[in-house]
């Protein structure tokens, strides 16, 4: 076994709901307080995982984090039994109850930034879990995500799971949603591309309407932690105008894989200069050219790019060596996006296939195919050392779909979060999931 890229998707949890908690995420706000379908959401996510597993043979999952986080509400002064705490929070501040029930850990592109061992000076695979401090409902994920990653990648000789960066505005970190790794054919060392929205200092350009969730200081800190040499790193800034248009993460406006970058012409600040610098670094490192596929505003208006999530599609290398583009069905339904997809597949590049998948439950909450996956490149020893229970097999897929059918509700409204029986339902489901994944229950029900 050589170095192989594995895809870790977030298993969508039983409390999937639409609370509209993510400021700057247009889809999240648009569908806020609608009735969600947790069962359909989880099955759609599993169907995507199964498709990628069939294509690549390298699909894994990360379990959902424990919800509700009642200790979060208790820390804010709500007291009494579980039912009393829930009732008090709902009557006083329903948005706080929604926060402690949020299933947003499903979007594992935000779980961490990952640097393969071939890129790192110490020869270990490095993870920095994202602190996600820009939004309250996601900031409570960081410690639990760290806990889970250390349980799955538990060899200190082979893996280094760092703690999250300080949960402070200067170091706001959103993980791999703002990080892409490029690697040449037959190469092991890659070029890691870090994209930030908030520059260091006080003179840079910044958005006016929505927050820039990734800071330059955070990106630089992660690169230092991961022991990446200067020739293996490139930094770039998001275009502030696209952040204000709803591009809250770079992966909403650009997606990269191996030696291919697919992006909008307005994705980055000073884009021509940045792409020249990125291409030159890639050529110097790999000896080959970076294939940049760029769509202009006239080909794909920014509004269509955001609503269709074309650039949040997932690129995967199939077993036969070709590359497939996995798009949400919204790209098929949007004329401009569909035409751009056709141009990609028919063009002179390595992407020769497109797959449209129904992920509407995730899309309505603001996350598409690329939001749902974390890319982890593993060498032969690391593949053996990783916890095998999270590898998606035919057997595991069958067990999980059956488990979802028994434990997940068909509908979940904001009013339903007030139901105290939902606590027992979700924790019972997580107890059973720990057995299915062969992870200790204290990992999935950890109190951190």
As a whole number, mean pLDDT of residues 408-423 equals: 97
Q: What is the pLDDT of residues 272-319, one digit of tens each?
A: 999 999 999 999 999 999 999 999 999 999 999 999 999 999 999 999
pLDDT of residue 446: 66
As a whole number, mean pLDDT of residues 398-405 equals: 98
pLDDT confidence tier of residue 139, bands split at 50, 70 and 90: very high
pLDDT confidence tier of residue 444, bands split at 50, 70 and 90: confident
pLDDT of residue 31: 87
Find all residues with CB under 8 Å of 382, minimum gap 6, and list them.
Answer: 117, 125, 153, 155, 158, 159
Q: What is the pLDDT of residues 233-267, one digit of tens each?
A: 999 999 999 999 999 999 999 999 999 999 999 99
Q: What is the pLDDT of residues 314-338, one digit of tens each?
A: 999 999 999 999 999 999 999 999 9
pLDDT of residue 447: 46
* Separation between Cα atoms, residue 49 and residue 8, nearest integer Å: 9
pTM tops 0.85:
yes
Q: What integer best gives the mean pLDDT of the chain?
A: 95
Q: Given strand 233-237, what is the order of strands in its sheet?
A: 179-182, 191-196, 233-237
Smallest Cα–Cα separation from 236: which of 213, 255, 220, 260?
Answer: 220
**Structural domains in the chain plus CATH codes:** 4-67+102-444 (3.75.10.20)
| Strand 159-161 versus strand 179-182 pairing type | unpaired
* Separation between Cα atoms, residue 13 and residue 7, nearest integer Å: 18
User: H or E segment at 243?
Assistant: helix 240-244
Q: 279-304 burial, b if ≥16 CB within 10 A, otherwise e?
A: bebbeebbeeebbbbbbeeebbbbeb
Q: Give the residue numbers annotated as catalytic, written as ranges.
A: 174, 249, 371
pLDDT of residue 26: 84
* pLDDT of 9 over the 80 cut: yes
pLDDT of residue 30: 86
* pLDDT of 448 over the 60 cut: no
SS3 220: helix
pLDDT of residue 23: 81
pLDDT of residue 1: 45
Q: What percentage of the chain exceeds 70 in pLDDT?
A: 98
pLDDT confidence tier of residue 28, bands split at 50, 70 and 90: confident
Residue 22: asked if its preceding bond is cis (omega within 30°), the reply is no
Smallest Cα–Cα separation from 108: which of 431, 371, 295, 359?
Answer: 371
Q: What is the pLDDT of residues 96-110, one digit of tens each?
A: 999 999 999 999 999
* pLDDT of 268 over the 50 cut: yes
pLDDT of residue 201: 79
**DSSP-derived secondary structure letter, 66:** P
pLDDT of residue 334: 97
């Amino acid at each position: 076994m050589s170095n192989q890229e594995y895809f870790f998707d977030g298993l969508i949890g039983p409390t999937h709901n639409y609370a509209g908690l993510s400021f700057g995420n247009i889809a999240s706000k648009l569908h806020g307080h609608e009735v969600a379908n947790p069962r359909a959401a989880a099955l759609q996510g599993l169907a995507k995982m199964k498709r990628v597993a069939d294509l690549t043979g390298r699909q894994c999952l990360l379990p959902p984090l424990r919800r509700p986080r009642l200790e979060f509400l208790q820390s804010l002064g709500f007291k009494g039994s579980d039912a009393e705490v829930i009732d008090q929070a709902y009557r006083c501040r329903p948005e706080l109850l929604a926060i402690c029930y949020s299933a947003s850990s499903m979007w594992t592109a935000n779980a961490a930034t990952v640097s393969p061992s071939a890129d790192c000076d110490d020869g270990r695979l490095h993870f920095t879990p994202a602190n996600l401090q820009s939004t309250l409902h996601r900031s409570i994920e960081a410690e639990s995500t760290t806990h889970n990653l250390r349980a799955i990648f538990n060899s200190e000789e082979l893996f280094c799971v760092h703690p999250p960066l300080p949960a402070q505005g200067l170091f706001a970190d959103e993980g791999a949603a703002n990080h892409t790794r490029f690697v040449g054919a037959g190469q092991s060392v890659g070029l890691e591309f870090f994209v930030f929205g908030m520059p260091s200092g006080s003179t840079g350009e910044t958005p006016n309407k929505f927050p820039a969730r990734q800071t330059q200081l955070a990106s630089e800190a992660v690169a230092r932690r991961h022991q990446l040499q200067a020739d293996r790193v490139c930094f770039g800034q998001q275009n502030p105008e696209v952040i204000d248009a709803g591009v809250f993460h770079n992966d909403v406006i650009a997606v990269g894989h191996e030696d291919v970058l697919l992006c909008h012409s307005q994705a980055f600040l000073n884009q021509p200069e940045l792409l020249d610098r990125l291409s030159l670094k890639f050529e110097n490192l790999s000896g080959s050219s970076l294939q940049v596929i760029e769509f202009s505003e006239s080909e794909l208006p920014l509004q269509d790019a955001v609503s269709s999530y074309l650039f949040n599609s997932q690129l995967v290398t199939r077993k036969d060596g070709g590359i497939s583009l996995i798009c949400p069905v919204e790209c098929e339904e949007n004329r401009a996006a569909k035409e751009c997809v056709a141009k990609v597949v028919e063009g002179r590049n390595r992407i020769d296939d497109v797959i449209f998948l129904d992920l509407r439950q995730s899309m309505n909450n603001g996350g598409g195919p690329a939001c749902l996956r974390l890319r982890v490149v593993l060498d032969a020893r690391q593949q053996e050392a990783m916890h095998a229970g999270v590898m998606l097999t035919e057997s595991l897929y069958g067990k999980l779909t059956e488990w979802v059918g028994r434990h997940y509700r068909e509908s979940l409204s904001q009013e339903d979060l007030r139901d105290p029986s939902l606590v027992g339902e979700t924790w019972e489901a997580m107890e059973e999931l720990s057995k299915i994944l062969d992870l200790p229950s204290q990992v999935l029900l950890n109190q951190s």
